[in-house]
């Protein structure tokens, strides 16, 4: 398979990774989670990151989202290189430029849906833009559930709250870590429709880690990792094209 390092020609990157390596341990216990990865994540696109367990996909996402740091290499959000930022600037970038959607929702159980959605802005002592807030709520379809607490919402509704929370600050890029992993197929489909509409309707940039070829088929581009390296990509994917690459990656190597 041919390594593909960059996004669609001419597309403006929301994030860039250059020669990113991440290792753990040392000596005989050394583990290389990412091995010299270079990748552009284009603005206004929905990208899926796929690969077998241990391929480095979650590590890549966490490094891009400033939740972890590489051993070497560079990660840019816009024109800001993460390792060059002081703590306050990094905190500000996480708050203002990056949204994150967790598989486990990560909602505060004592707060209502509305309070959970605006919590990051409240912590930053910022008020949500009223027009944008209403637009996000309309997109996620939660207008009649804003006063409900998480235990009064279905799993799909809780994930929609989490997505609204990620969108309401108008981040440059949203990272979603297996966002349908804890949902049934119907709720998962609703969440994927929502992510797709956020890209199409609001020009949001979304990067999603997933193992599901059906979920990947909602995206504009699928990037495949194996052994910490980018090994392939598919544009305008469907389920069959994703499965074909996955089968090739899992096939035994001839000796």
pLDDT in tens, 93-146: 988 899 999 888 899 999 999 999 999 899 888 888 899 899 889 888 899 999
* CB-based contacts of 182-186 (< 8 A; 24+ apart in sequence): 182/103, 182/104, 182/105, 182/155, 183/155, 183/156, 183/159, 184/155, 184/156, 186/156
Specify whether the CB–CB gap between 211 and 188 falls below 8 A.
no
Place of tokens 């990051």: 120
Q: Distance between CA atoms of 30 and 23, rounded to whole angstroms?
A: 7
Residues near 35 by beta carbon (within 8 Å), at least 6 away in sequence: 21, 56, 227, 228, 229
Strand 46-50 with 173-177, pairing: unpaired
Q: Which homologous superfamily is 13-106+155-160+170-250 in?
A: P-loop containing nucleotide triphosphate hydrolases (3.40.50.300)
Q: What's the pLDDT score for residue 251? A: 64
Which residue shows structure tokens 């816009």? 78
Q: Is 247 exposed, middle or buried (0-12, 13-18, 19+ CB in 10 A)?
A: exposed
Residues in the chain with pLDDT < 50?
A: 1-7, 253-255
Cα-flanking dihedrals φ and ψ of residue 57, to 5°? -65, -45
Residues 167 and 136 sit within 8 Å (Cβ to Cβ): yes
Cite the beta strand spans of 102-212 per DSSP E: 173-177, 206-209
Instruction: Tell me the helices (H) and strands (E) count for the chain, helix number first.
Output: 8, 10
Element of type H or E holding 76: strand 72-77
Residue 242 main-chain phi, psi, to 5 deg = -70, -45
> What CA–CA distance (Å, rounded) separates 60 from 233?
15
Q: Residue 207's pLDDT is what?
A: 97
Give domain limits for the chain.
13-106+155-160+170-250
């Amino acid at each position: 398979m041919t390594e593909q390092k960059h996004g669609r020609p001419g597309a403006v990157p929301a994030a860039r990774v250059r020669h990113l390596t991440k290792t753990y341990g040392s000596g005989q216990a050394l583990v290389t989670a990412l091995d010299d990865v270079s990748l552009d994540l284009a603005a206004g696109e929905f990208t899926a990151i796929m690969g077998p367990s241990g391929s480095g996909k979650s590590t890549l996402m966490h490094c891009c989202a400033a939740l972890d740091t590489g051993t070497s290499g560079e990660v840019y959000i816009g024109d800001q290189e993460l390792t060059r930022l002081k703590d306050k600037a990094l905190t500000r970038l996480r708050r203002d430029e990056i949204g994150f959607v967790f598989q486990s929702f990560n909602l505060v159980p004592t707060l209502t849906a509305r309070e959970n959605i605006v919590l990051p802005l409240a912590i930053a002592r910022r008020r949500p833009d009223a027009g944008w807030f209403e637009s996000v709520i309309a997109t996620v379809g939660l207008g009649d559930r804003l006063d409900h607490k998480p235990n009064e919402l279905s799993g799909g509704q809780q994930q929609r709250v989490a997505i609204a929370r990620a969108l309401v600050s108008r981040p440059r890029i949203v990272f979603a870590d297996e966002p349908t992993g804890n949902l049934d197929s119907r709720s998962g489909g609703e969440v994927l429709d929502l992510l797709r509409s956020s890209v199409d309707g609001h020009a949001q940039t979304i990067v999603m880690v997933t193992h599901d070829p059906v979920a990947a088929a909602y995206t504009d581009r699928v990037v495949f990792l194996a052994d910490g390296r980018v090994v392939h990509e598919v544009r305008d994917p469907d389920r069959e094209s994703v499965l074909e690459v996955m089968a090739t990656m899992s096939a035994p190597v001839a000796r």
